Every structure is written in structure tokens, then in C-alpha cells.
A and B are shown apart, each in its own frame.
Chain A
Amino acid sequence: MTLLAGPVGRRLALRVATGGALLAVLSLLVFVGVDLLPGDPVTARLGPNATPERVAELRAARGLDEPVLTRYAQWLGGLLRGDPGTSFSGKPVSEMLADRVGHSALLAGLCVLLLVPVSLAAGLYAARRPGKPADRTVSTGALLLVSVPEFVIASGLVLLFAVGLGLLPAVSLIPAGDHPIRHPDMLVMPVLSLLLVASAYSIRVIRACAVSVLAGPRVEFLRLTGVRERTILRTAVVPAVLPVAVQVWLVTGVGLVGGAVLVERVFAYPGVGDLLVTAVLGGDLPVVQAIVMILGAAMLLALVLADLAVVLLTPRLRTGGAV
């Protein structure tokens, strides 16, 4: 309570307000931007020799003959009521997204859960041995992973663990009616593919940050006063690295929800990425708009949370020493 009423509360309120404003701007950009995508959803659906009357009819039925801002207002109204409209396939968008957003969030969530300890451990390990072979191995490995497209990593894992060793299922064929969480064997490789790609960036950021802290005067002072390395790491390095690391983790996590398109495709995982590809290819604009909007909102939320985390993790900000 006291925290929320103090500088943290002020900062949070400010961030939420900015986030809300950004979300409003984002919604306009998403709607108009997707609307401007090449291709006409009506003719794409009706085929090449639809009569002009039929095209006009469907256009009117879908409200596409209205000006873009009117349609935006209607869409926004729907969104606020929790109704993102109807897909061109005739299904409600909310129904199409229902499970899939959750499935993708599950992948991203599991990935972040593993990402935190893995990237922190590897980053600190490398930072404590700057320039040594161990550091070079970690840094180069991370650089390599960052450079390889994720579907290559995913395909490699399939070849190794499914086709070669036969340890894990090659494709995430989740039975109808089941939640992916009930099939952990089908989650291993998708999560691992995402983790390998995502951890590379986090490791590099954490390593860089820790190296500069370790070379700083505070650590030098602690070392000169005879404090043990382990204690230095716990009391000086980790607290200094965390504000940066938390931001990287959160933003990476949200990025994974939508950025897992290719990984989801390789494993036929029923997430939002596959839906996004199908919708873009087929010109199903209401679905594209809804997905982009959800991902955008999640990213803004992550940024607000990251900002909050920075405040909470930085004593001087937490106590209002400086804003």
C-alpha cells in the first residue's frame, strides 16, 4: 500500500496511462495498416469472375463500403465489448483465437520459466571469466544461436531427437479436446527451440552488464575488503544485472507468443502463429487485426511490467531518491 501510494505508485499510474494512450494509437495503426495490406478480401473469397453486384453485396454485408474510420470505430467498439468481429470464414474471431492464444502463451511461458535461470547462469558464468575460453565459448555459442533462424534449430532438433533417436514425437499432434499441457512430450522440442534462440540474446545482454559491474569500483571495493566472490555475485552483481535482465526476459517472452510462427509450423503446434500465417495468406483481415492487436497489447503490458520491475529492483528509484 505504502509502495503504491509513493513514488512507485506515481510511476505505475503514469506508465499505465501512457500504455493506454499508446494502445489507442496502436489500435488505429493496426486497423488501418492491416486494411492497407495488398489484396482484396472480398474478391479473394469470391474468385475471379464474381459479378460486380455480388462483390458489392458482400462488401456491404461486411460493412467494407463504409469509410475506414467508421469501420475503425465499429471495430474498436466491438473490441471494448470483447468482440473482435467475424472472420471471413464466417466464424467468430474470438472462437478462432480462444484456445490458440492460450496455447502460444503456454509455450512462451514455459520458455521464459527456463530462460530466467539458464540465461542468468550462463551470462554470469561467462562474465566472471571475461576473455577466457569459457567466456568465448558461451559468447560465440550465443552469437551462433542468435544468427541461426529458429526453424533451422527446430528442424535440427526434430532430426536429432525424433527421427534419429526416436525419443520425442516429431510433430505436436495434440488430440482434439486435449490441452497441450497434458502432452508434455509434445511440448519439449517447441519449447527447447524457442529457448535456444531466446536465451542467446538474454545471455549476451546479461554477460555484458555483469562484466561492466564486475569491473566497476563497487566490486573492486568489496574485493579489497575481502568479501567472498560468491557474496559479491549475490549482493552486488545480480541486483545490478536484474533490472536489465527482467526487461529482456519480459519483452522476449511476449515476442515469443507471436514470434513462434515458424516453430509452431515446424511442429504443427496449434498456436496463434499458424493462425496468423493462414489469415495473412487468405486475406482474413479481422483475424489478422485481432491477433496483431492482442500481441501489441501484450507487448505494452510487458513494457509496463518491465518498467515497474526496474523501479522495484532499484533501491534509489524505489525510495524516490531520483526519478
Chain B
Amino acid sequence: MSLPRRTLIRSTGALLGAVGAGSLLAACGGSSDTPGGTDGAASDATSDTPVEGGTLRAVFAGAGASESLDPFAGTSPVDFVRNDVIYDSLFILRDGAPEPALATDAEPAADGMSFTLRLREGVLWHDGSAFTADDVAHSFRYMSSPDRPLPSELQMYFDMGNVTVEDEHTLTVPTVQPIGDPATMLASFPAKMVRSGATDFSTENAIGTGPYRVAAFEAGRETRLTRFEEYWGGASPTDELVFSSVSDPQARVNAVRTGQADYAGDIPFSTAKAGIEGSDLEIRTAGDTNRTGFAFVLNANRAPFDDPKVRRAARLAVDRARLVETVLLGYGEPGNDLFCKGARYFSEARPLKRDLEEARRLVKEAGAEGAKVVARSAEYEAGYNDSTKLFVQQLREIGLDAEEQIVSLAEFFDPAALEEADSVTFSSSPLPLPVIYGRMAAYPSFALPDDEFGAAFGEAMAARTDAERRTAWAKAQDVMADRGNTVVWGVADILSLARTNVAGIEVRDQAKYPYLGKAGLA
């Protein structure tokens, strides 16, 4: 089973950028002595309601000419944000929990090996036709087709090609392992619904059920979207959304600063630190439950990190405070080595305190003194390479012969090289735990070979009640906290720049790709 790179991008943040959305914000405009930050006077930007009408102009990082209206092909922030308002998913995530969207219910069978999917009635496509079970069956087949360069990850869990259409609004979906909470899986992985038979996503044929329809699109430049009045979730406040693709973060800032746009995603920490003049501008953070976890994933399948003692030593060696200060410029806080802070069932263990003496003792005890450690990194997100260099220095301090292996983005995912690396730099937003641990288990160099962890993970995936899931995830994360292979050294703020009157921006699955279907100008 292959995990396409897109899923990695989706889980780590984008190739060239990321986007923040506002629930907690720190005003920055005008007062240069208090450049954006989360510790200052924070106010709630989403309390304003957008007024009817008007145009909202937003800039995001794009992918040039390879951007696409095919919801399963685009890989850049602008692709995700745009396709999020054109197409709908069966379920969406809200505060980490699944909420019905195009489906109303996903009920697992007694053995967890299939589930019944019930669809919302009265949903219309942009061309006026009705949304039915056939559309879902086609979408499942289309997104998981092996001919696609990026087949859907959901096929790790669901048998996507063997869906049975029971009636116009009901389907039965077989699974490949017991799944107790299919709705969370459908909400967490990219799974937009397209019309039955749709394979061409040119401007005219990009038809979804979302709150906006495509008026004009030019890859790498601009998308103009107009409100879809018959939207099943109630028409959006704003008449028109205009998304522009701007790769350079400073250019995005300039576009908002000079009035060419109202909202810009992925603002570099350095820009925020310097402050941005303008009384009607503010730098927003997505809040402390929507931060990106920055990490080094240790390869537990080869020496020296196959020894839990050396893994613990690496965690004791890492200087979290210094990394947060130098790499994140203070926009964040030290992490506790567990991914997905802010997600449901996340374990709030305290970060390990730096203890070089204990770390050296553990390395010695494991007989790993002078062991070679290769830390692989590419600048997938700003800060990857700098953090890796610091980590290497810190590993040297405890007697490991560490060296960094900085490569280009095109080389980063070479499977053979990943398997030979001892540490891979990685990051993740607060995805639901099944997603992040499922992904890690699927990557040979990221998986933790631990029976207790594996059993707890399986239990969590099959659990049918909230209480069962909570217990199982606590068990799995206890193992990670004790002898795990992730060194999540910090969680970083997700920043955006907006005019003060931009309102209604929501975080659904990831703050880096905010949902603009209900956004507008207040």
C-alpha cells in the first residue's frame, strides 16, 4: 500500500507554505513594540460576523502551473483551500470530532469489517442535479484508482472498489481491518465527493456540491469563485471569493499590506517578529490547539535507535527551549515528544527535562558511544534544516557521532535513503491520532516495532465508544512517552495576516488550510 507524497504534504504543511486562521489573535498593527505573538493581548477575531455581499480576496502559496481543480490532484495550500469550498466531504472535523456533512451517519457493522453510510438528502450539484450514492461510489473508485499518481490513503482501511449501493442514499462500505469510527477516517483524509463519472476537472467541468462554484481559474495565478445559492448548508455571506497563488511569503505580506488582498496565509515568524505597520492589519495565530508539531523521527528499526535507551537519551539531549527560541523565534512552546497536541485523546505528558548526564549514561549503558547517526532533512517547511543542525550538535554532546544529511525536496523521500537514515525531520499539525499513527506505522523508517504499542493502536482503531478509544490511546501514547521514536521538540504557531474586518474563517481539519466557505468582511 502506498502513501502518496500528498498525504505527507497534507500532514506536514505544504511544500512552500502554510496558512493560519484566526480564533486567537494577537494584534500587531501599529504597535511595533508588540509584534504579533500569542502572549500579548489576544482577542477573538471570529466573533465578528461577515456581512452579506462583497468580495473576499485571499493569497496562499500555490504550485504554479501544476495546480488543479481535481480535488485529488492538487497539493499546494491554495489547492486545498480552494477545493475545500468547491467540493464537500462526507464528514468534516470540528474540534477534532467528526461532524456530518454530505453523509449523515456511518454505522459500523458488529465485527467492524464494514459500515453503512447514509447520505444527506436534498443536496444539489452546482449544475442542479441531485447528489446520490452513485456519486459516492464513483468518488471512492476515482480517488483510490491505482492509475492515479496519488491514490487515496483511505484504502489502507476501506475496500474502496467494493462499495455496494443499497439505495439512492445508502451504501455499504467494506473495510480491510476492524474500524470502529469510520466517520473520523472519512473526515480526516482528503475525500471530496465528485459527480458520478467525473474525470475531467477543467474550469467548466469542476462541479462540486460546495458553497462556491468556479467562475474562472488559471493555475498558479487566480481562482474566482461565486456563491452557490442552493448550497445545502445555507448560502455563504460573501458573493465572491478570489484566491491568488503567491509563492513568496514576503509577496503575500505585501499584497495584504498594500490593499491587494484581505488575507494571507503562512506568514514567516521573522516577518511577524519585525511587525507590520498598518492600523487595519493584524497578525493572527490559529490558537494553541492548532499548532504544528516539529519533530525528529528516530529510526527504531536500526542501530543505535533500535535500543529504547538511546532513543530516550536523544530525547534527554534535545534542547527544546533553545530550538523554540532560535527556529520558531519564540512562536510556540516546547513539545512533549508526542504528535498532535490539540487533537482529541492527546496525552498531555510533561516534556522531558534536558539532562545531558543521564543521556550520556544511557548511551554508554547501551554501548552506543560513538555510534554513527545520520539526521536526514530537507527544507520541507521553514526551520527543518536549522533544527536538524542544532539537533546534530546536541546529539554529539552525548557521545553520538551525529551528522546532518541535508538534501533537496526532490530527494527527501527516496525510500532507500530514508531507511538508511537514523533520524528524519518531520512535522505534523494536530491531525486525529488514527491518522498520524496510522501513517507512521505505514512508513518502514517511521514505525515503532513495539508489541504493546501495536496492540494498543489496534484496540484504538477498533474501539466503538469514546471511553474505549480514550483508554486505548492513552495506553499507546504511554508507550510513546516511555520508549517512543518521536522527538517532538516544539509546537509552532500558525500565523496569518489579515485585515481586521476579515471574519468567519474556520479551522476544520488543519489550520494551515482554513475553511473559507463562511468567511467574509465584517
Contact = CB atoms under 8 A, between A and B. Distances in A.
A44 B66 contact: no
Given A38-B408, A176-B221, A268-B246, A170 B255 contact: yes
27 contacts: A38-B407, A40-B411, A40-B414, A43-B413, A44-B414, A45-B5, A49-B2, A54-B2, A54-B146, A87-B65, A88-B149, A89-B68, A90-B73, A169-B258, A171-B255, A173-B222, A175-B222, A176-B222, A265-B251, A268-B244, A268-B245, A268-B247, A275-B64, A275-B220, A282-B63, A282-B409, A283-B409
A100 B251 contact: no
Contacts of B260: 169-171, 173
Given A45-B4, A49-B415, A171-B255, 5 more contacts: A39-B411, A47-B4, A49-B2, A175-B224, A284-B66
Contacts of B43: none
A38 to B, nearest CB: 5
B251 A44 contact: no
Given A49-B415, A89-B68, A173 B244 contact: yes
A263 B245 CA distance: 16
B410 interface: yes
Nearest to A169: B260
Interface stretch (B33-41, B228-236, B441-449, B509-517): B441-449
Nearest to B6: A47
A38 B409 CA distance: 10
B292 interface: no
A47 B221 contact: no
Interface string A250-274: 0000000000000001111010001
A45 B442 CA distance: 17
Interface of B: 1-5, 7-8, 15-16, 59, 63-66, 68, 73, 146, 149-150, 216-224, 244-248, 250-251, 254-255, 257-258, 260-261, 407-415, 418, 442-445
Given A46-B4, A100-B65, A177 B218 contact: yes
Nearest to A177: B216
Contacts of A155: 250
Interface residues of A, number: 56
Interface of A: 37-41, 43-51, 54-55, 57-58, 87-91, 95-97, 100, 155, 158, 162-163, 166, 169-171, 173-177, 265-268, 270, 274-275, 277-284, 287
A155 to B, nearest CB: 7
B169 to A, nearest CB: 33
A297 B362 CA distance: 61
Most buried by B among A47, A158, A170: A47
A162 B261 CA distance: 14
B203 to A, nearest CB: 9
